[in-house]
Amino acid sequence: MPTLLITGANRGIGLAMVGSFAIDGWKVHACCRHPERAKELRSMEGNITIHKLDVADELKVASLARELIDEPVDLLINNAGYYGEKTPFGETDYEDWMHHFKVNTMGPMRMAEAFVRHVGASEKKLIVNISSKVGSVGENTSGNSYPYRSSKCALNMVTKSLSIDLAERDITVLALHPGWVQTEMGGPDALISTAKSVSGLRKVIAKAGKEQTGQFINYDGTQIPW
């Protein structure tokens, strides 16, 4: 039975991922900051264990890694993300910007460092960082959103470096764009449903191997410019 460890599992793409993998018989470790509020997650059927976790908290991440020390993790999905209030140029909230980096960039790196042995002990050996096309320098034609854009751009660099540093452990590392999804973060005007996004992401994940490691890939399988 393959095992998934996923952060940000209480809503949106993360919640849909949990349900999709659980239905397919995966053992799922679903992490979120407030499990007591995660009614939909707690009501899901399958081999699902819910963990209270804030990826910005180094001690909590280390504690969970110790708790699961004997658990191989086939697939680590760093999905937890933060998108604060948009502020125009000249009104930047620098504390909020730092929080973007703590969650969107440092969080996935912290999870990778804490769980690298768990992933390395598994059969599939895959780390997926949920990034965003908004973090692509080449795709930026509208500006603004400095904190979110820069934190996801930095996550892409983290992904690339991890793919090189973990190659000797046969671990594949990807940055995936889920599309503009109809979630609380994506908003009601988004283009695709969570079901379509997750279906596409799972196809990319299923095909992932050494040839794809370090790539930035859209949910439809196409590569995205850095």
What is the Cα–Cα distance from 43 to 50, expressed in whole angstroms?
11
pTM, entire model:
0.95
Is residue 34 in a domain?
A: yes
Any residues with CB less than 8 A from the CB of 189 and at least 6 apart, and which?
none
Confidence class for position 75, pLDDT limits 50, 70, 90? very high
Residue 130 lies in a domain: yes
Structural domain for 66, as ranges: 3-218
| 223 part of a folded domain | no
- Considering the domain boundaries, does residue 226 fall inside one? no
Phi-psi region for residue 73, left (φ > 0), alpha (ψ -120 to 50) or beta?
Answer: beta
In which band, very low, low, confident or very high, does the pLDDT at 193 lie, cut at 50, 70 and 90? confident
Any domain includes 189 = yes
Average pLDDT over residues 22-39: 97
* Average pLDDT rounded to a whole number, residues 19-48: 97
Instruction: Show the CA angle centred on residue 100, arms to residues 133 and 164, nearest 5°.
Output: 60
Structural domain includes residue 140: yes
Residue 108 within a domain: yes
**Token pair for residue 3?**
């095992």
Residue 11's DSSP bridge partners are none
Mean pLDDT of 81-91: 92
* Structural domains counted in the chain: 1
State the pLDDT at residue 192. Answer: 72
Per-residue pLDDT tens digits for 126-180: 999 999 999 999 999 999 999 999 999 999 999 999 999 999 999 999 999 998 7
pLDDT exceeds 70 at position 55:
yes
Residue 189 has pLDDT above 60, yes or no: no
Residue 35 located in a structural domain: yes
- Percent of the chain scored above 70 by pLDDT? 95
**Rama region for 93: left / alpha / beta (φ>0; ψ in -120 to 50; rest):** beta
Q: Report which DSSP code applies to 31.
A: E
CATH code of the domain in which 126 resides: 3.40.50.720
The more confident residue out of 185 and 213 is 213
Residue 186 confidence (pLDDT):
58
pLDDT band at 185 (very low <50, low <70, confident <90, very high): low
